Structure 1
Amino acid sequence: MTHTVRNKQKLLGRVRRIRGQIEAVERALDEEAGCEKVMHLIAAVRGATAGLMAEVVEDHVRAHLVDEERYPGALNLDAADQLLDVVRTYLK
């Protein structure tokens, strides 16, 4: 079972919140809201999408690259944590 299946409900919840944020951008544009409001809404969508990507990447690394049961000694856990820190920072 892949990590996206194991965390399906959690991931779908995040996607649904992102959908709501996208709909808020659409409403703001439709209602001719000010540029500042629209930019803030778009920034929120970007942050939420980046957070979703970071979570999926982290789960992927932990499930497929450093799963000690499946791959004993496959990777240094500290190195994996350092990589994930860089990915999280990049995606912000």
Structure 2
Amino acid sequence: MKTLIGGAVAAVLGLIGLAIWFKDFLQILSGTLPIMLLLGGGLALYLGFDELKDTWKKDDKTPAPATDSVDQYKQEIDQLKKEIETLKTGKA
């Protein structure tokens, strides 16, 4: 409840202060707005360029052919199956 009352008092005082010093408020706003736009635009340019570099990196990477690795794994599985069969027959 104290927070609600404190917030209401602060809003009323802010509204009164804005009405009294409106000309000063506009002067401060006119001074900070270009700086905010400049910094925001610079940040947007940086993030856009960083995203563009990421897409270039993705395009440069060519995936290795999967058929070679699949054939290699099939050969290894066949060899392991043969070893298992020889171990089974050797123990029996």
Higher helix share: 2
Q: Which has the higher contact order (CA 8 A, sep 6+)?
A: 1
Same fold (TM over 0.5): no
TM-score tier after normalising by the smaller chain length:
0.3 to 0.5
TM-score under structure 2 length normalisation: 0.36
